[in-house]
Structure 1
Amino acid sequence: MRANFIGLVSGLAIIGCTMAQADGNITEDFFKSPETRWDYIADTVMGGVSSGQVQYHSEGDVAFARLTGTVSTENNGGFIQFRRKLPVRPDEGVSGVRLVVRGNGEQYFVHLRTRGTVLPWQYYQAEFETSDEWTEVSLPLSNFKASGAMLRSVPVADEITSVGIVAYGRDHDARVDVSEIGFY
């Protein structure tokens, strides 16, 4: 039991340099220079025309990342995201991704990349809804779908190499805030 807990803690600790304890789960809380850990990426890397940005804010004792922009499917595009490459992979006992979010009522996605997603367009994806209220979302790894037939059907926890928050797949204006994200 203790070894499993230590493995889980070390797997979760990779998400961020600053950590907060909330409901027994350790998560990235977006305090202390999150811009050094997270990168903004858009479909412009492949010729798309979507535009956006990620900014870091705080309201009282809550810090968060805000992804905003315009997603366009022109030129075979259709995404904006912010992503964190993980310096250490999660423990094999991890069963999902937990986040606290709010937004403009649109649907957004968590994308996971693994050691098996070697091509830029490969990922595992799970969707979540937003509202104007902070909401806790738990996404079991079994909810993540592979982007293509060459990948396993479900990601394996200790193979995960990055996690991203993505506005994807249809023309829309994006605004999603994330105050916590981690593995459980």
Structure 2
Amino acid sequence: MFTCFVLFISFYNAGLSDQMLKDTFRNSPEKRWIYFADTVMGGQSEGAVAFKKGSQGQYARLTGNVTTKNNGGFIQIRKRISGVDKDIAGIKLTAKGNNQIYHIFIRTSGTVLPWQYYKAEFSARNSWKKIKIPIDDFQRSSSFLSRKIRPETIKSIGLVAFGRDFSADLYISEVSFY
């Protein structure tokens, strides 16, 4: 009986791990993705996330106005994750937008302070596009962080409109590792 229980838990956890590593914004994404802006630190950016269905399937749409006033400059949605395989090569996503540059922020067990992260940018054109970003392309936000990300330490991924004054309109239909 104990052996059956251990096998059940092993398969159950393996299934959960797979679900955490790929998100197509189905089945209550608002429970997995949280929106927040620089207002948590006094900034003045405003925005929102909406989870919708369209010709591409389910997607998240991040919209708003990013402003660097009062030391601000971001809006984002973030998902907590765990159980990342140490051998992943990078992050892939399917996105479209308003021909602006957006960012992916990765936080790890080593990014202790709120302003610490690893980031990579991507361009969101006005039609759906698959984008792959190698894990080695992510840049650390501080010299206090390790130069390279150890994938098994990743604890969250953020999709971010960041760093300058602009109107954000980002659609994401899939985020996963490769």
Map 1:152-171 → 2, pairs under 5 A? 152-171=146-165
Pick from 42, 64, 72 the counterpart of residue 69 of structure 1.
64
* Rg (Cα) greater in structure: 2
Please state if 1:84 is matched with 2:79: yes
Number of aligned pairs? 167
Q: Does 1:46 align with 2:52?
A: no
Partner letter of residue 78 of structure 1? G
What letter corresponds to residue 52 of structure 1 in structure 2?
Answer: G
What is residue 101 of structure 1 aligned with on the other side? 95
Structure 1 position 13, deviation (Å): 2.7
TM-score, with structure 1 as normaliser:
0.86
**What's the CA shift string for 1:81-128, capped at 9, x where partnerless?**
000011x23010111000000000000000000000000000000000
Cα deviations by residue, 1:115-169 (Å, 9 ceiling, x for unpaired): 0000000000000001111000000011000000100112111000000100000
The runs of 4+ residues in structure 1 deviating greater than 3 Å are 8-12
Residues 59 and 105 (structure 1), Cα distance of their counterparts in 2 relative to 1, 3 Å cut: same
| Structure richer in helix, relative to its length | 2
Aligned to 2:109: 115
| 1:144 paired to 2:150 | no
1:55-101, CA deviations, whole angstroms, 9 ceiling, x for partnerless residues? 00101461100000000000100000000011x23010111000000
> Structure 2: any 5+ residue segments left out of the alignment?
1-10
Distance 1:76 1:146 in 2: 20
Residue segments in structure 1 that go unaligned for 5+ positions in a row: 1-5, 16-26
Q: CA RMSD, aligned part only?
A: 1.8
How many Å separate the matches in 2 of 1:114 and 1:38? 17
Q: TM-score, normalised by structure 2?
A: 0.89
Mapped to 2, the partners of 1:65 and 1:12 lie a distance apart of 20
Cα distance in 2 between the residues matched to 1:114 and 1:122: 9
